[in-house]
Structure 1
Amino acid sequence: MTELAKYKMYINGEWVESSDGGYFTSYNPATGEPWCQVAKGTSEDVERAVQVAHQAFENSEWTSMTYSQRGKLLHRLGDLIAENYEKLADYETLDNGKLIREMRGQLQYIPEFYYYYAGLANKIHGDTLPIDKKDMFVFTSREPLGVVAAITPWNSPLYLTTLKLAPALAAGNTIVIKPSEVTSASLLELMPLIEQAGFPPGVVNVVTGFGDPVGNALTSHPLIRKIAFTGGTESARHVVHNSAKHFSQLSLELGGKSPNIVFEDANIESASMGIIAGIFGASGQSCVAGSRAFLHKSIYNEVVDRIVTRTSNIIIGDPMSPTTEMGPLATESQLKRMEHYVELGKGQGANLIYGGKRPAHLKKGWYFEPTIFEHTNAEIRIAQEEIFGPVLTIIPFENEEEVISLANNTNYGLAAGIWTNNLARAHQISKAVRAGIVWVNTYRSISPIASIGGSHWSGYGREGGVESIHEYTQNKVVWMNTSTEPMADPFIMR
């Protein structure tokens, strides 16, 4: 039997085992078999990593660097990722089962985020204030927070880490990252590139392991100034509770139940493909998955026919194959979750028109067919709860007022898709739909220039764009008295 690869943690520029020497096994979703072992971190490991990051922030060469120097390191890291994208993509696919062609495309684009924040690093500035006191000169500056904790999920490990790591470093913070226990390998494979780029030891640290104890210890640590979390709502509630102990700043990028709305004047072919991309791309394991499709009654049957026809031709199989269009789910528990929700949907009266089971031709791995329900009751659980898999619900509507009400009838507010050739309608509906991201006649488009984030159960705070830099800095106001006159009455506020 081939010995499994072993991954240690990365703390203070060194590869270290956990304090008790423990490891856990990571599985290849395409086969359901073990493929590597990862150090199983403890609360002691978290303590060490946070202390190291704190020291690196307080008294090291990192804090003595200029913003431009830090920007150059980020640019170099982007170059190194571009040079090694194929290797990193392979590890992502082995770990989470996403298509190799998707991962290669994603890894080729990720450097753009590092270049973007490299350029922003020396543009983090304050303002002079036109203060209403003639003998005062008042200005502001934006300063790094200190040690940041980043907790990342398993569906797009390096991309979602980048959304935190790049702006945090550009702003001058140090960071401790806890990747999902499901997908730790690709992030650990990134660490040699962090070294090659020239980041000092202790600036970037990785502690691997489970939510308890690693996640709990990290999010409740008194030296953590900010927590950047991407994941599910239940885990987020624990993070919010822990952050309150020491008033850590917090940004949450959580789940969604995103609507894809198709009006009667839309390009039917584009809208149909957009719905498929939104829910079956990445096997539906995406925070912004367009899991609810609302179709105008006049074009309902035509769009459903197109969606079902294309879905029936989706190639499901080995994610390493360049022809595969849908790979496995990331974990066995995800597979069981899909089966559970299919039974829920059928039990609550939804009409299963495609899929709903494991593919018969795949005997190994955690594969699940693309699945489509249609129904008219927007209150049933498959239309309200985030499933996080390839399960689409389709609902008809008659007019704008109705579909806005249906689209907003959810606890989530992350993303939405609107399909129409009516410019006025596009503006009106995009304003009316409660979502942090609205795509019009497209879906799942990303850029480092545009932020992502939502509201309510989809979280708060923003990642990406200029806004993200502000999430990793704090504002300082400096008052300078320019008068040579002595202070007057000390008991009167100036």
Structure 2
Amino acid sequence: MTQLDDNIARATGFLARFAKDGVLNHIGGHAVPAASGKTFEIISPVDLKPLAEVARGDAVDIDAAAKAAHAAFAAWAALPGAERRKILHRIADGIEARADEIAMVECMDTGQALRFMSKAALRGAENFRFFADKAVEARDGKTIQALGQVNMTSRAPLGPVGIITPWNTPFMLSTWKIAPALAAGCTVVHKPAEFSPLSARLLVEIAEEAGLPKGVWNLVNGLGEEAGKALTEHPLIRAVGFVGESRTGSMIMAQGAKTLKRVHFELGGKNPVIVFDDADIDRAVDAAVFMIYSLNGERCTSSSRLLVQEGIYDSFTAKIAARARAIKVGHPLDPETEVGPLIHPVHEKKVLSYFEIGRADGATVAAGGEKATGPGGGCYVKPTLFTGAHNKMRIAQEEIFGPVLTAIPFKDEAEALAVANDVPYGLAAYLWTQDVTRAFRFSESVQAGMVWVNSENNRHLPTPFGGSKESGIGRDGGDWSFDFYMETKNVCFATTAHSIPKLGK
């Protein structure tokens, strides 16, 4: 038996419970079907075969979950930070104990390669440990002194919050949003993406097995236009944290406006990697290839535009093309696979459509540009590189969200900056140069919430994560997460008998 065969057998065992029992909602500490009794089917992108029937929640289920979160809020918010820390660390322990199960379920649910998903559970556990340790200081503020007064700030949890997570790397991103909410003292209603809901079910089970009180974390599956819309409009939900498409973020903002909801959006990107002719070429190639083709290119921070200085453009893109053609496309549970199948036939169709769009606009396909043959006959697409492109092409402006890279030449720093900024998005940018002063100038001027200099996306949890323009609102990470999940209060103490203006005398 090969390692792939063994992995498939193990994954089949993990998935059997979902095939048998379906995927239920979790409200007030209880696993329940949708109130309507309706379900929807999810399929594996590997072979397009059904994985499970999923509860199709709607406004009734969201209402029950919001009420459960509201009822649980006072006690959870009042729990000392040190006690919340213990529970969150136990959740991290539970995640680590089931890391293999989480990884394999995620692979079959999303098509992501095991080489990346094997680390997803560990990243999720790390997120919980990081915010567990911050729970103790979550309410801390500062003292601000002025003549005759001392001001003291403090923070308090906002209340029940809605979390809507995407279908790409859903487990890790769920932990990234939910862990700080719990650490802050908020309760949660989680609506996972309908394409990949399995790991969300595992996560809420782990949390309650670790001692999280019932009702603190509620899970409602369903479609965006039904369960998602009801969540964003519900009056008991004080805020909505969302990761997904920019267009959907705009809809959520409009839906939450009536109840004046606070929103936190991590949205799309068309992120540039800018390579100057003085860069460390080999490292820049490694980083550019990794940031577009890892995770099937289905990541908001992917470097989907490659801006290369004219003098090295041909040689650099030739290296990228050779690497793209050599990437192993295959079954996500194969340890050798680097790119697995895309999430769903609907998304595969979208990605494939850009191959003809790019050609029609005059770009050259230097690698890929077609569907790939993979085991099971699922949604496999070849890693693709477009050359001879310019920034007005649709392949340079629109988020494709697949293993597709568009390479654009530039003359000098001024042109590189203009091209980098000439998109609606502003999530991330990657800069390769040995010129330190240029690195400072460029990173100051590029319109992105995050800039990595001479690096791929190398995350450090205390730093802020988020974008500008159509890439989002707000920041995650470190203390920035608490800015969203908590209210800040200021109390001013007079320290002298200052003169008070007198009226009516």
Instruction: Give the 3 Å change call, closer, same or farther, for CA 48–397 of structure 1 in structure 2.
Output: same
Identify if the C-alpha distance between structure 1 residues 29 and 140 changes in structure 2 by more than 3 Å, giving closer, same or farther.
same
Q: Secondary structure at the match of 2:221?
A: coil
Matched, 1:478 2:494: no
Select 1:63's aligned residue among 77, 98, 112. Answer: 77
Q: Which runs of structure 1 show a deviation greater than 6 angstroms over 4 or more consecutive aligned residues? A: 482-488
Per the alignment, residue 12 of structure 2 pairs with none
SS of the aligned residue for 2:190 comes to: strand
Per-residue deviation at 1:97?
0.7
RMSD: 1.8
SS in 1 for 2:426: coil
How far does the alpha carbon of each residue in 1:76-126 deviate from its partner, in whole angstroms, 9 at most, with x for none?
Answer: 211221221111111111111101120111222222211111111111212
1:42 aligns with: 58
Structure 2 residue identity aligned to 1:42: D
Alignment of 1:67-146 (within 5 A): 67-124=81-138, 125-132=140-147, 134=148, 136-146=149-159
Q: So what's the TM-score if we normalise by structure 1?
A: 0.95
- Unaligned regions of 5+ residues in structure 2, if any? 1-15
Q: 2 CA distance for matches of 1:31 and 1:261?
A: 37
Out of 458, 466, 469, the residue aligned to residue 445 of structure 1 is: 458
- 2:253 alignment counterpart: 240
Is residue 400 of structure 1 aligned with residue 413 of structure 2?
yes
Aligned pairs, number: 487
Other structure's SS at 1:294 match: strand
In 1, the alpha carbon distance for the partners of 2:263 and 2:240 equals 5
Runs of at least 5 residues in structure 1 that lack an aligned partner in the other structure: none
Letter matched to residue 129 of structure 1: I
Decide whether the 8 Å contact of 1:4 with 1:35 is kept in 2: no
AA at the equivalent of 2:77: T
Distance (Å, rounded) in 2 between the aligned partners of 1:93 and 1:451:
28
Separation in 2, partners of 1:491, 1:149? 50
> What is the SS of the residue equivalent to 2:400?
coil
For the residues of structure 1 that align with 2:210 and 2:164, how far apart are their CA atoms?
23
Change beyond 3 A, Cα 1:396–1:76: same
Residue 432 of structure 1 aligns with which residue?
Answer: 445
- Is 2:374–2:380's contact at 8 Å kept on the other side of the alignment? no
* Aligned with 1:216 (options 208, 229, 250): 229
After TM superposition, give the deviation of residue 483 of structure 1 in Å. Answer: 7.1
Identity of aligned residues (%): 38
Residue 364 (structure 2) pairs with residue 351 (structure 1): yes
State whether structure 2 residue 347 is matched by structure 1 residue 331: no
**Partners of 2:271 and 2:426 within 8 A in 1:** yes
Whole-angstrom CA distance in 2 between matches of 1:377 and 1:258: 15
2:33 corresponds in structure 1 to 17
1:19-60 superposed Cα distances (whole Å, 9 cap, x missing partner): 0111111111111111112111011000000011001113x3
- Among candidates 153, 169, 174, match of residue 156 of structure 1: 169
Q: Is 1:28 paired with 2:44?
A: yes
Residue type matched to 2:117 in 1?
Answer: M
1:463 — aligned with what? 476
Contact 1:5 1:35 in 2 (8 A): no
Q: Deviations over 1:305-333 (max 9, x none)?
A: 11111111111010000001110100101
Is the contact made by 1:436 and 1:453 (CA closer than 8 Å) also made in structure 2?
Answer: yes
Match of 2:184 among 171, 177, 187: 171
Match of 2:68 among 29, 37, 52: 52
Give the alignment partner of residue 412 of structure 1, picking from 390, 412, 425.
425
Q: Give the SS at the match of 2:188.
A: strand
Quote how far apart the aligned CAs of 1:489 are: 3.2
Distance 1:361 1:75 in 2: 40
Letter in 2 for 1:37: E
Please tell me whether the aligned partners of residues 112 and 448 of structure 1 are also in contact (alpha carbons under 8 angstroms). no
Q: Measure, in 1, the Cα distance between the counterparts of 2:100 and 2:468.
A: 35
Counterparts of 1:177 and 1:358, CA distance in 2: 34
Separation of aligned partners in 2, 1:369 and 1:457: 28
Comparing 142-151 and 457-466, the one that deviates more: 457-466
- Quick one: which amino acid aligns to residue 456 of structure 1? K
SS of residue matched to 2:365: strand
Q: Which letter maps to 1:296?
A: Q
Partner of 2:24: 8
Between the aligned partners of 2:58 and 2:324, the Cα distance in structure 1 is 44
- Bigger drift between 63-72 and 323-332 goes to 63-72
